[in-house]
Amino acid sequence: MAVPIILIVALVAGIISIVMAMYFRYLVLKEDPGNERMQEVAGYIEEGAITYLKIQYKILGIFVAILAVAMLFLPTPFEDSDTYTRLFSDALNWEQMLAYIIGAVGSMFAGWLGMYVGVKANTRAAQGCTIGTKKGFDVAFFGGAVMGLAVVGVALIGVSTLYWIMPDPMIVLGFSFGASSVALFMKCGGGIFTKTADVGADLVGKAEYNLPEDDPRNPATIADNVGDNVGDIAGMGSDLFDSYVASIVAAMMLAAAFSITSTIYFPFGGIDLTAEGRAVLVVAPIVLCGVGLIASLIGIYLIKLKGSDEPGKALNTGTYLATLVYFGLSALFTFLLSIGLEAAEIGLLWRIWGTSAIGLIAGIILGFTSDYFTRDDKKPTRNIANAAKEGHAVVILSGFSYGLLSVVPPALGVILAMAVAFWLAGFFGVAMAAVGLLSIVGTIVSNDAYGPIVDNARAIAEQGDLGEDVIRTADRLDSAGNTAKAITKGFAIGAANLTVLALLFSFVEEARAKGATIDSINLLNVNVLIGAFVGVVIPALFSALLILAVQRNAAKMVDEIRRQFEENPKILSGEEPADFSKTIDIATKGSIRELILPSIISIIVPIAIGVLFGVAALGAFLGGAILSGFVFAVMMSNAGGAWDNAKKWIEDGNLGGKGTNVHKASITGDTVGDPFKDTAGPSINTLLVVMSLTASIFLGFLLLFNGGAGLLADLLTIVIP
């Protein structure tokens, strides 16, 4: 199948994105890093973050190498150019293995570059706050933009180049699998690290010794700041990188599956595709994402112009404008893609454009739904704060209930987007809605990475003795960052769910193309029902493992902080510095050790379901995991965010302020919410994508077992004479 030349748009956009990321890196690094004390604190943070990444990347290298060898011996997929059927050869799977390694390395590079600039930007943003809000905002946002542009640039260069050289979406699937396996490590590990430090710092520093936020006497303060970088910058960036690539690949695989019958079906009929039409459909997801990157670059530039004294408004305005620019540019490129096609195919392309627009609108709505349930000036968070007057247990009950309630609006949003997209363009329309939702991910990741940078800047301003006025300026930037992070989490959850739905559709189509008997996923079939049941359970198991990991490591952190205070009272008096290296070491070793089991589960369990119960059961497994995972992810992310902001609202002087019993009850809520919102909740997004990609990557291997029916098919089937 010939590759349309318009694919070059995505490649050029990706190259421009990397160039702009390096330019923004230059702008950040040339800024004043502040006084000697600020540079010392920033040095601790940078050293801890880089040490953590080095250790994590060593473990990742082993993990990637093992999977690469396994992929080499998988049945090699290829498309027969005469019959347009998907076949297998016994040759070594070099192409997909190479794509996997490139995807893993690309994801690691994007995470490293973003975090490297993040730990350089924090002290410079704090120093910028001595000049004014706009200066501090510019430095922090440029630092975040490096991550946003690196993520999208690496993704588009990788996908477009691989498809140009090896025009088979199944090869590009390897790239996506590499990105996802790295993302799972970075999100889980970063989440465990940051909440180990945060929970420990709050339980001892705040609750027991009444120390202020980011007090330099607290031994866990630096570890907490390191965690912001490894969890929220590198972790969330890799999470969205993973969903972004997976959404493109899912749509490409569905488009390639149409080659089998040369027909794409909709609820109201079907369209016969020409060879040119099939080729255009396969590259359309990449081209529209390239257009989205251009829109993101414009949005980032507009955010910079709008910086002024209202950082929150500037971030939101930039997102809205990037959305509008995408609508216009994507319409233009839809017209260019349609040149030379038949009338029915042109109509199809415009319906696809509509589905991408619907997906993006749904993403914005989902993000701001999360914002409503977590902002401290909205009813849910205020009610949770007032519940603290009744005690610790009531705070937990209130926050948990609002977390559950917050599942309803985004669920309705996903249902509506999916229904309309399906009506317009069938399963391919749902896949393109996911592509549209993630089209401006460059702007979204930039906004998200801005958050931990200003959070660190606020800590450095306090520890660098810059005075109350500068700290208040940093607090304004931090407040906007908290809102941006809440919106990003909602956006990421919606993106992950539409993406994995698209991956489920593409998995079923690929299974059919390869001869598997998967015409329907019938829950009355015991094999299929078992698969669905296990799928529902996995997000719960995964969440439990991560939260227990935080609990175990936080307990060690609490003991260490208490030990330092008890053995050296001069730390509390400020006469001697705390031992930050010990707490960083606890968080680093604990997070690396604890992420191994969840990562293995995400790959082993889908393969085991396919081997034992068959491909249809694996499809049901993915469906069950998607549905329960959505509930867990939304509930935990929003409940955690609301508990956090309820505590901050009280600390601002409301309901008695700091040191009161109300404040201590709110700290309990925040402590419970920390692993909810920053460890387990967001990590479920990556879990779902990794499991879906694992199913597609190992599909050929699974077909070796009873033709895809599974080893236990005969034992669990009733034979009626």
The per-residue pLDDT for 15 is 93
Maximal CA-CA distance, the chain: 87
Q: How confident is the model at residue 403 (pLDDT cuts 50, 70, 90)?
A: very high
Mean pLDDT of 330-343: 89
Q: How far is CA 271 from CA 2, 265, 266, 320, 430, in A?
A: 20, 7, 8, 35, 17
Q: Are the C-beta atoms of residues 16 and 152 closer than 8 Å to each other?
A: no
The per-residue pLDDT for 717 is 62
Mean residue pLDDT across the chain: 83
Tell me: the pLDDT tens digits for 575-625?
A: 788 888 888 888 888 888 888 888 888 899 999 999 999 888 999 999 999
The per-residue pLDDT for 322 is 87
The per-residue pLDDT for 434 is 87
351 against 56, higher pLDDT: 351
Tell me: the pLDDT tens digits for 241-285?
A: 777 888 888 888 888 876 555 566 666 666 777 878 888 888 999
Nearest to 456 by CA among 29, 140, 56: 140
pLDDT value at 714 more than 80: no
The per-residue pLDDT for 354 is 92
pLDDT value at 217 more than 70: yes
Tell me: the pLDDT tens digits for 348-369?
A: 899 999 999 998 888 888 877 8
Mean pLDDT of 475-500: 75
The per-residue pLDDT for 586 is 86
Q: At how many degrees (to 10) do helices 468-513 and 234-257 cross?
A: 20
439: Cα separation from own chain's centroid: 14
Tell me: the pLDDT tens digits for 172-181?
A: 888 988 888 8
Alpha-carbon distance of 511 to 508, in angstroms, equals 5
Amino acid, single-letter form, for residue 304 = K
251: Cα separation from own chain's centroid: 19
Alpha-carbon distance of 263 to 257, in angstroms, equals 9
Q: Beta strands 263-266 and 269-272: pairing type? A: antiparallel
Tell me: the pLDDT tens digits for 232-243?
A: 777 777 777 777
Nearest to 373 by CA among 127, 681, 721: 681
Q: How far is CA 492 from CA 203, 227, 506, 528, 630, in A?
A: 29, 20, 21, 29, 11
Alpha-carbon distance of 163 to 285, in angstroms, equals 12
For 577-583, which contacts have Cβ atoms below 8 Å and span 24 or more sequence positions?
577/216, 578/216, 578/217, 578/218, 578/219, 578/221, 579/219, 580/44, 580/48, 580/219, 580/221, 580/222, 580/223, 582/219, 583/197, 583/200, 583/219, 583/220, 583/222, 583/223, 583/557
For the chain, the structural domain boundaries read 5-708
Q: How confident is the model at residue 85 (pLDDT cuts 50, 70, 90)?
A: very low
Nearest to 695 by CA among 597, 618, 588, 628: 618
pTM above 0.75, yes or no: yes
β-partners of residue 265 are: 270
Counting Cα atoms < 13 Å in the Cβ hemisphere of 427 gives 22
Q: Are the C-beta atoms of residues 147 and 233 closer than 8 Å to each other?
A: yes
The per-residue pLDDT for 2 is 65
Mean pLDDT of 159-163: 91
Alpha-carbon distance of 61 to 385, in angstroms, equals 45
Tell me: the pLDDT tens digits for 651-675?
A: 888 888 888 889 889 988 988 988 8
Amino acid, single-letter form, for residue 436 = G
pLDDT value at 200 more than 90: no
Nearest to 282 by CA among 317, 234, 250: 250
pLDDT value at 199 more than 90: no
Q: How confident is the model at residue 84 (pLDDT cuts 50, 70, 90)?
A: very low
Token pair recorded at residue 687: 């879990």
The per-residue pLDDT for 328 is 92
160 against 167, higher pLDDT: 160
The per-residue pLDDT for 621 is 94
Tell me: the pLDDT tens digits for 99-155?
A: 999 999 888 887 787 778 888 888 898 888 888 888 888 888 888 888 888 888 888
